[in-house]
Amino acid sequence: MLPIHMVLVDDDDVSDFEVLYRACRNKAYIIAYKILKNESLAEECVSEVFFSVAKNFKKVNNLTSYEKQKYVVISVRNRAFNILSKEKNNNSNVPYEDDIYFNDKDYYEFSYDQWVCCIRKLNKTDRDILYLV
């Protein structure tokens, strides 16, 4: 992820950003993981924070080394709590069950020719999806 963030930083500050990134990324990941208890969410959190730091690196670079690390840690903690609250509020994690959506009686009411006719009416993308299933 470092090369993506480096594009946002001025050429003069690239080495300073790289030092900050290498010094803080593991600690930031550990903090995010302790809060989120999910590897991918923790990685996403750390990436978002360093993206934000890279966009505002002119301001962040004026801080002392300790203040920079403190800034990253606090940002990761806050971002992790924001992600956690969004995950808790997200009610779209409904388990998918085939028997809810598939009614055998309706399936057998169609003949083979009717199915072919319906499938031919679909656009190419939708037909390809059915082919993959």
For 104-122, what is each residue's pLDDT tens digit?
Answer: 565 566 777 887 888 888 8
CATH of segment(s) 2-89: 1.10.1740
Q: Based on the number of CB atoms within 10 Å of its own CB, is 10 exposed (0-12), middle (13-18) or buried (19 or more)?
A: exposed
What is the domain partition of the chain in residue ranges?
2-89, 101-132
- Cα 8–chain centre separation: 20
Q: Are 13 and 38 in contact (CB under 8 A)?
A: no
Q: List per-residue pLDDT tens for the chain, 133 residues long.
A: 556 666 667 777 788 888 898 999 999 999 999 999 999 999 999 999 999 988 888 898 899 989 999 999 999 999 999 999 988 877 565 565 655 555 556 556 677 788 788 888 888 888 878 766 5
pTM > 0.95: yes or no: no
